[in-house]
């Protein structure tokens, strides 16, 4: 099936590459399609950055310009071969992206676009004012690309080169999105808390994808310079940057092929509008910009996910790579049963004047289930978030396997073997259930972006996805593995969360109301799964409202009320504790 789809795609690509030589297509269209291909490269980078990673850059045109000027200077002023200037151009854009990215990726969402905007404007004025770059006139006389002794001056030959580059970019991008690093990227926007809780280095992932998008823009710039044979500041301004973004957004901000669709649509639209509008309005001018702006706003209002998903539906789910003789993931060394896993020691958390958690202390040992219960507003979820590192404590200490984790990043806590579920299912809706679960195994793989792009990660992928499939089977969701996670019912999503937490191979699992929304049968299955974990020596901390569920499972209960621990002990004792009864049922005085 997949092999056939690949064959069809390869055939299609061959036909497209051969098309200009058929003589059917006028030279004008060949040129137009060369520009579409060049723009597609930039838009593919933006799709990864914006649609997948949830970041936006208005400065991609500046990266195109940076590479174009780099190769122009090297080839015109220093007589360097264009093929040698390619790696230099890419390195220069990567360096620029590193500079801009390093200062912005840690900040909240809108600083990156504004940072890239400022950078784009600055670079535009720089190009226009440096006399050795030809100032506003730019540089001309850029040599054509040569293969052997043959110069690629014919638009049709260039077409082949441009679209080979596009095919390459598509393959590389698709490889990335289907792999470990890609799953992390896809979680950045929709499920950042989960990504962080399973060890994804958020700032690092953002920076790497930003640099990659810039390098695609750099490749486009290099092609542009050697196709156009001249460069000037005009096409690298902020307007062009927005136009690239428009392509990605209109085409389908989350989809690689959407970038090509968007680049084609917008380039055609501009071409047509430029011809048509002066006829309609009666005078020449920059009117296409009015239409462009309106199209952009309309697109965002009516089809925020772009045209591609509307036309072609959701992305195909990842398949587990078939690998024979690939071992399973090695399990983590387990602490001795009964040893202390988690120590919460007089922890306090204030929100303004409110003491949400007031000197709470308890511990969880390997191979026991501890229930954290209490009425609404008792501070259960806050305690939970303090342990996971999602919130910082104000006082006290939290130790996990003997090491203080107060103030540690969620990633570090996850690496020590703490898996968690979320009260509100935190999943990537348009990613398959299997891939969502595989995010849990993020820390058990190493392959980064480059290995994913080159498909050097197949053995590891087989292990990671195989583990995800096993955990899905454990929670009884094997049949839904390839459905988009967003199509599942709430109860099933809770089980997806549980499977994802188990993928981490945790020594301690924190579960925030895992039974909420489950049907009776599902609850029983979950209870037996938790008992199985306990039997394996895993520690479980359970925040739960369902009293029957928690009473029947927990070895010990910790009861919170108004941020204070009011009781602790075995369920039978806690059940009769007068303070607990009062907290739940009100005073009996």
Partner 1 sequence: MDSTIFLFLVQDGVINGAIYALAAIALVLVFAVTRVILVPQGEYIAFGAMTVAALEAGRTPPTIWLLVALGVLSALAALAQNRRTLGAGLVARIIAFDLVLPAALAGLTVVLAPLKLGPAVYVPLAVALIVPMGPMIYRVAFAPMAQASVLVLLIASFGVHFSLMGLGLVFFGPEGIGTQPLLGGDFSLGGIPVTGQSVVVVGTTVLLLVAFALFFERTLMGKALRACSSNRLGARLVGIPTTTAGSVAFALAAAMGAISGVLAGPIVTIYYDSGFLIGLKAFVAAILGGLVSFPLTVLASLGVGIAEAFFSFWTSNFKEVLVFTLILPVLLWRSLRTPVHAEED
Residue of 553, 475, 543 whose CA lies nearest to 513: 543
CA 18/CA 473 separation, integer angstroms: 47
Least spacing, CB of residue 81 vs partner 1, in Å: 31
Least spacing, CB of residue 448 vs partner 1, in Å: 19
- Give, as one character, the DSSP assignment of residue 52: I
Least spacing, CB of residue 106 vs partner 1, in Å: 5
Residue of 429, 432, 430, 413 whose CA lies nearest to 501: 413
Nearer to partner 1, 245 or 508 (CB): 245
Nearer to partner 1, 64 or 366 (CB): 64
| Residues that bind partner 1 in the complex, under the rule CB under 8 A | 50, 54-56, 58, 99-100, 102-104, 106-111, 113-115, 117-119, 121-123, 125-126, 129, 189-193, 195-196, 202-203, 239, 242, 245-246, 249, 281, 285-297, 300-301, 304, 390, 409-410
Nearer to partner 1, 106 or 332 (CB): 106
Least spacing, CB of residue 421 vs partner 1, in Å: 16
Nearer to partner 1, 204 or 377 (CB): 204
Least spacing, CB of residue 287 vs partner 1, in Å: 6
Least spacing, CB of residue 62 vs partner 1, in Å: 11
3-state helix, strand, coil in the chain (%, to 5): 60, 10, 30
Sign (positive or negative) of CA dihedral 170, 175, 177, 178: positive
Would you list the DSSP string of 456-506? Answer: TTHHHHHHHHHHHHHHHHHTT-GGGTTSBGGGS-HHHHHHHHHHHHHHT--
List C-alpha distances in Å: 308 to 11, 168, 386. 21, 20, 41
Nearer to partner 1, 21 or 351 (CB): 351
* Longest Cα separation, the chain: 99
Nearer to partner 1, 457 or 497 (CB): 497
H-helix or E-strand containing 346?
Answer: strand 340-351
Nearer to partner 1, 266 or 515 (CB): 266
Least spacing, CB of residue 436 vs partner 1, in Å: 15
Sign (positive or negative) of CA dihedral 69, 72, 75, 78: negative
Tokens of 319: 């398949």
Burial (CB count <10 Å: 0-12, 13-18, 19+), residue 79: exposed
Least spacing, CB of residue 281 vs partner 1, in Å: 7
Nearer to partner 1, 284 or 588 (CB): 284
Residue of 467, 412, 472 whose CA lies nearest to 180: 467
């Amino acid at each position: 099936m997949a092999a056939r789809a690949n064959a069809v795609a390869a055939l299609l690509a061959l036909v497209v590459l051969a098309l200009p030589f058929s003589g059917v297509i006028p030279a004008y269209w060949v040129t137009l399609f060369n520009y579409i291909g060049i723009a597609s490269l930039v838009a593919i980078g933006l799709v990864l950055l914006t649609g997948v990673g949830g970041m936006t850059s208005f400065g991609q045109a500046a990266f195109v310009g940076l590479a174009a000027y780099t190769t122009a200077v090297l080839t015109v002023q220093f007589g360097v071969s264009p093929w040698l200037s390619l790696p230099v151009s890419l390195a220069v854009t990567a360096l620029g992206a590193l500079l801009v990215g390093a200062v912005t990726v840690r900040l909240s969402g809108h600083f990156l676009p504004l940072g890239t905007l400022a950078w784009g404007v600055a670079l535009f004025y720089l190009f226009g004012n440096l006399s050795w770059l030809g100032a506003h006139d730019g540089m001309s006389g850029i040599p054509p690309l040569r293969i052997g002794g043959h110069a690629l001056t014919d638009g049709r030959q260039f077409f082949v080169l441009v679209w080979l580059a596009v095919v390459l970019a598509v393959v590389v991008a698709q490889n990335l999105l289907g792999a470990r690093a890609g799953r992390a990227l896809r979680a950045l926007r929709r499920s950042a808390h989960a990504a962080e809780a399973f060890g994804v280095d958020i700032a690092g992932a953002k920076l790497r994808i930003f640099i990659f998008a810039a390098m695609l823009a750099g490749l486009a710039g290099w092609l542009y310079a050697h196709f156009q044979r001249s460069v000037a500041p005009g096409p690298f301004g902020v307007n062009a940057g927005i136009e690239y973004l428009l392509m990605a957004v209109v085409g389908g901000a989350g989809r690689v092929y959407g970038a090509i669709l968007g680049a084609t649509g917008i380039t055609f639209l501009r071409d047509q509008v430029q011809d048509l509008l002066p006829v309609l309005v009666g005078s020449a001018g920059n009117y296409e910009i009015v239409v462009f702006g309106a199209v952009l706003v309309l697109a965002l209002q009516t089809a925020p996910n772009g045209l591609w998903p509307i036309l072609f539906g959701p992305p195909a789910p990842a398949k587990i790579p078939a690998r024979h003789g690939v071992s399973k993931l090695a399990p983590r060394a387990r602490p001795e049963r009964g040893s202390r896993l988690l120590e919460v020691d007089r922890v306090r958390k204030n929100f303004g004047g409110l003491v949400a958690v007031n000197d709470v202390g308890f511990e969880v040992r390997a191979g026991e289930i501890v229930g954290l219960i209490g009425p609404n507003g008792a501070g259960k979820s806050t305690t939970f978030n303090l342990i996971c590192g999602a919130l910082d404590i104000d006082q006290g200490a939290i130790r996990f396997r003997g090491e203080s984790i107060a103030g540690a990043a969620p990633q570090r806590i996850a690496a020590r073997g703490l898996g968690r579920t979320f009260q509100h299912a935190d999943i990537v809706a348009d990613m398959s259930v299997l891939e969502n679960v595989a995010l849990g195994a993020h820390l058990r793989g190493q392959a980064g972006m480059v290995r994913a792009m080159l498909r050097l990660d197949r053995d590891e992928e087989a292990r990671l996805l195989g583990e995800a499939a096993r955990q899905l089977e454990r929670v009884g969701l094997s049949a839904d593995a390839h459905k988009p996670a967003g199509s599942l019912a709430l109860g099933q999503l809770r089980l997806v969360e549980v499977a994802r937490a188990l993928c981490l191979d945790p020594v301690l699992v924190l579960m925030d109301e895992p039974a909420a929304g489950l049907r009776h049968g599902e609850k029983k299955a979950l209870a037996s799964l938790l008992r199985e974990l306990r039997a394996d020596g895993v520690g479980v901390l359970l925040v739960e409202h369902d009293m029957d569920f928690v009473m029947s499972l927990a070895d010990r209960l910790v009861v919170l009320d108004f941020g204070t621990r009011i009781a602790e002990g075995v369920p039978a004792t806690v059940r009769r504790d007068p303070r607990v009864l009062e907290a739940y049922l009100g005073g009996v005085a």
